[in-house]
Amino acid sequence: MIYSMTGYGKGSAENGKIKVDAEVKSVNGRYLDIALKLPSSLMSRELELRELIKSKINRGKLSVVIQMKNNGYGEEPFTINKERLKNYIDQIKSLKKTAKIAEKIKLEHLLANKEIFETTGAELSEEEFGTIKSALYISLTELHKMKLNEGKELSKDLKKRIGIIQTKLDEIEKESASSVKEYYEKLKEKVKLLVEDSKFDNDRLEMELAIIADKADITEECVRLRSHLKFFIDSLEKDSDPGRKMNFLCQEMNRETNTISSKTISTSITHNTVLIKEEIEKIREQIQNIE
């Protein structure tokens, strides 16, 4: 079963001292990219939280926000670092003077700098950190469920498009046998109109025409394309990490379709190859959503 890279999860946990809310958002990404927003008291445990996330998620761009309240009533207590505040005010004054700005320093200008605030809470106990991990785990579990449901819908769409390609390939193979024979007969008639020499070797003519007509045969390409379609479905249903493999198979399907289009002399087959390439492109777009 495949998983989408797009999803959302939220989890909460609490004990007698703290209440924790964790929120996870995931969008498409080539690799695993985690943006983690934490209370300052959790900064020293960031690496452990990242490892927990990595154990559950393989790919995608994640935005993770963890909020913590004491006893479920108030935000984490903080104080103002007066030295940082003084330096910040001095920098603003210097900037005003350099830029010749007359505007007064307002409270919102100071509040915009989060560096002047410091938390005063004691170091988290293992019990409290366990509560934080529980909230994060719940949010990741909810994210996982949503990614799975999105993956099921992706799988349905991909199978539908593979089915369309298979139908078009059936039509191509049916048309191919008659088109090559028709091509051979047309070549033969044209040569007869151009060559009037009775001494012309008819057997040699037949052989040369057969070679030319054989170059328009697309049987091998159709067989390979059908094989790629089969491997694609197998990967979709059985592989644990099918994204990269399916992307490669799309490249090969596109290659075979281009060859069929270039070799055929049938307008109907050419039209079907265009439709197949459209479906392959849609499949490639959808694959980018797979974890």
Looking at the structure, tell me whether residues 278 and 159 fall in a common domain: yes
* pLDDT tens digit sequence for 4-52: 989 999 999 988 788 999 999 999 888 899 999 988 778 889 999 999 9
pLDDT attached to residue 192:
60
Looking at the structure, tell me whether residues 189 and 214 fall in a common domain: yes
Looking at the structure, tell me whether residues 196 and 134 fall in a common domain: no
Mean pLDDT for the stretch of residues 284-291: 89
Which range of residues forms the domain containing residue 102?
Answer: 79-114
Tell me, yes or no, whether 128 lies in a domain: yes
pLDDT-derived band at 133 (thresholds 50, 70, 90) equals very high
Looking at the structure, tell me whether residues 87 and 161 fall in a common domain: no
In DSSP terms, which residues pair with 284 in a beta bridge?
none
- Least confident range from 61-70, 81-90, 107-116: namely 107-116
Q: What are phi and psi of 159, to 5 degrees?
A: -65, -35
Looking at the structure, tell me whether residues 171 and 224 fall in a common domain: yes
Average pLDDT, the chain: 83
In percent, the amount of the chain with pLDDT more than 70 equals 80
Tell me, yes or no, whether 119 lies in a domain: no
Looking at the structure, tell me whether residues 268 and 282 fall in a common domain: yes
Residue 80: alpha-carbon gap to chain centroid: 44
- Least confident range from 119-123, 256-260, 277-281: namely 119-123
pLDDT attached to residue 166:
96
* Per-residue pLDDT at 198 exceeds 60: no
Looking at the structure, tell me whether residues 269 and 178 fall in a common domain: yes
Q: β-pairing, 60-70 with 78-80?
A: unpaired
CATH number at residue 60: 3.30.230
Q: Which residue in 224, 278, 222, 212 sits closest to 249, CA to CA?
A: 224
The helix (run of H) or strand (run of E) holding residue 78 is: strand 78-80
Number of domains in the chain: 3
pLDDT attached to residue 199:
52
Tell me, yes or no, whether 1 lies in a domain: no
- Least confident range from 8-12, 39-43, 105-109, 206-210: namely 206-210
Is the model more confident about 214 or about 270?
Answer: 270
Q: What are phi and psi of 128, to 5 degrees?
A: -65, -40
First and final C-alpha spacing in the chain:
11
Looking at the structure, tell me whether residues 171 and 267 fall in a common domain: yes
Tell me, yes or no, whether 229 lies in a domain: yes
Instruction: Measure the CA–CA gap between 20 and 11, rounded to whole angstroms.
Output: 8
Looking at the structure, tell me whether residues 244 and 210 fall in a common domain: yes
Tell me, yes or no, whether 210 lies in a domain: yes
CATH number at residue 274: 1.20.140
Residue 240: alpha-carbon gap to chain centroid: 15
Looking at the structure, tell me whether residues 233 and 169 fall in a common domain: yes
